[in-house]
Chain A
């Protein structure tokens, strides 16, 4: 049992390929008429990736565009599945891949909190007990009862972030979203993340901001062309990464 809580994320020899259709036949008619035309390329995004993330670790995934960081994160959330290998996660998991997924523009901010939080697997009671905290964190004040379509993009992001951050998951997966809102709100988010880290939550970030990686994470994993190039203490990984890319 102790094994379960110690290792939060286990990725074992994972391969992931995407079929990139250059000219996809979508309907039966096209399939029959242009069956030769179904050209596709298979792109290998992850090649034999293995890693283990322990409880309480804050890990940054770094690498240039197209190195497979976001794919690895999506595999951890179970939005997509590997072609080969296995991804296991232990504990309640929240992902902040794209903020506000599933917001309904015609419903009010408050109603959307309920809907969004239920997508994360919270029960009514759990949402009721968090709603004040979420609204307070979002700083939306009385706007919370207006339809979401009237929100500015900053307000939208703040609401979405507040919901996701207050789910109280054991594992938090974050994809490049620390650029939410203005300076003030960004700092608030960063502080909240630090607080969660102190509480012993496990976090994985995909980020291009090496600054925030240094700031938050004690471990960094450098992905390059679908393989792990270096995995270790944040500072040394980033230093080497910078040496190679600049």
Chain B
């Protein structure tokens, strides 16, 4: 359990890199932090025009339906994408100073979670804007965020350490995430999937998480607690496996970078 101690000892480093990451992102841009709203909003507008055109659906308030899936998905894919670059970006420090390397993926996931927290305002904006109101089930939001956080931490530990040795992963990930986007009920509902393909969705952890967000914001009903707990277990397992892989690979980071 020395990992918890070493991360705790270096908590100031975690804090400064999270704030530097959030603050530095839009430092030299004119719109500044507004970009974290403008970007997804533009994306929503495009998707809201395109997808109803190519895929007929009779979903009520389709835009809200999509937003509930799209924002959490963006959080998911941004973290995984950035995780594949984080070690290479920080190669300079890794080669010169010792610090617990797991701080890097940890601070990445944490700072993106803060960004997600802020962009959740967009979901709220759409839900309220369409006059759907809020329900008590919104209280499950922290639970969903926690599950997604743990899941992303596990994936990031693996992705960030493996790319040091295998740079192609960066490009593979782009393709995989693109495929996964369509294998997750983001722009369509799970009901419209033919029975024979349902299994793909059952194996995709993001299905449960996005359905969870949708339940609490859009359907305003009890999320599938049993399914989410299973995903929570999977996420914890992934974190443990991820840490073991990371710990094995990090010993040669300074030489490989």
Q: Which residues of A contact B (CB under 8 A)?
A: 18, 26-29, 74, 77-81, 93, 95, 97-98, 101-102, 104, 106-107, 114-115, 117-124, 127
CB distance from A119 to the nearest CB of B (A): 5
Asked if residues A119 and B20 are in contact (CB atoms below 8 Å), the reply is: no
- Chain B residues near A121: list those with CB within 8 A: 9-10, 12-13, 99
- Chain B contacts with A in 58-102, Cβ cutoff 8 A: 92-99
Asked if residues B27 and A106 are in contact (CB atoms below 8 Å), the reply is: yes
CB distance from B3 to the nearest CB of A (A): 14
- Chain A residues near B99: list those with CB within 8 A: 119-121
- Chain B residues near A127: list those with CB within 8 A: 12
Question: Known interface pairs A18-B255, A27-B167, A28-B168. Does A95 touch B11 (Cβ–Cβ under 8 Å)?
Answer: no
- Chain B residues near A79: list those with CB within 8 A: 94-98, 254
Which secondary structure dominates chain B's binding surface?
A: helix
* 3 nearest A-B pairs in the assembled complex, by CB-CB distance: A101-B96, A118-B12, A118-B13
CB distance from A157 to the nearest CB of B (A): 14
- Chain A residues near B92: list those with CB within 8 A: 101-102
- Chain A residues near B98: list those with CB within 8 A: 77-79, 93, 95
B9 nearest CB neighbor, chain A only? A121
A-B contact pairs, 11 of them (CB 8 A): A74-B254, A78-B98, A79-B97, A79-B254, A81-B251, A97-B97, A101-B93, A101-B97, A115-B16, A118-B10, A123-B11
B92 nearest CB neighbor, chain A only? A101
A100 nearest CB neighbor, chain B only? B96
- Chain B residues near A98: list those with CB within 8 A: 96
- Chain A residues near B167: list those with CB within 8 A: 26-27
Asked if residues A118 and B168 are in contact (CB atoms below 8 Å), the reply is: no
Asked if residues B12 and A123 are in contact (CB atoms below 8 Å), the reply is: yes
- Chain A residues near B20: list those with CB within 8 A: 104, 107, 115
Interface residues of B, count at CB 8 A: 24
CB distance from A102 to the nearest CB of B (A): 4
B25 within 8 A of A: no
B198 within 8 A of A: no
CB distance from A126 to the nearest CB of B (A): 8
Quick one: CB contact mask for B1-16 with A, threshold 8 Å, 1 for yes? 0000000011111011
A98 nearest CB neighbor, chain B only? B96
Asked if residues A124 and B12 are in contact (CB atoms below 8 Å), the reply is: yes
Asked if residues B254 and A27 are in contact (CB atoms below 8 Å), the reply is: no
CB distance from B251 to the nearest CB of A (A): 4
- Chain B residues near A93: list those with CB within 8 A: 98
Asked if residues A80 and B254 are in contact (CB atoms below 8 Å), the reply is: yes
B100 nearest CB neighbor, chain A only? A121
CA distance A54 to B241 in the complex (A): 38
B172 nearest CB neighbor, chain A only? A28
Asked if residues B97 and A120 are in contact (CB atoms below 8 Å), the reply is: yes
- Chain B residues near A124: list those with CB within 8 A: 12, 15
Quick one: CB contact mask for B178-193 with A, threshold 8 Å, 1 for yes? 0000000000000000
CA distance A18 to B252 in the complex (A): 10
CA distance A34 to B255 in the complex (A): 22
- Chain A residues near B9: list those with CB within 8 A: 121
Quick one: CB contact mask for B21-33 with A, threshold 8 Å, 1 for yes? 0000001000000
Q: Which of A26, A77, A80, A124 lies at the interface centre, i.e. has the most chain B CB atoms within 10 A of its CB?
A: A80
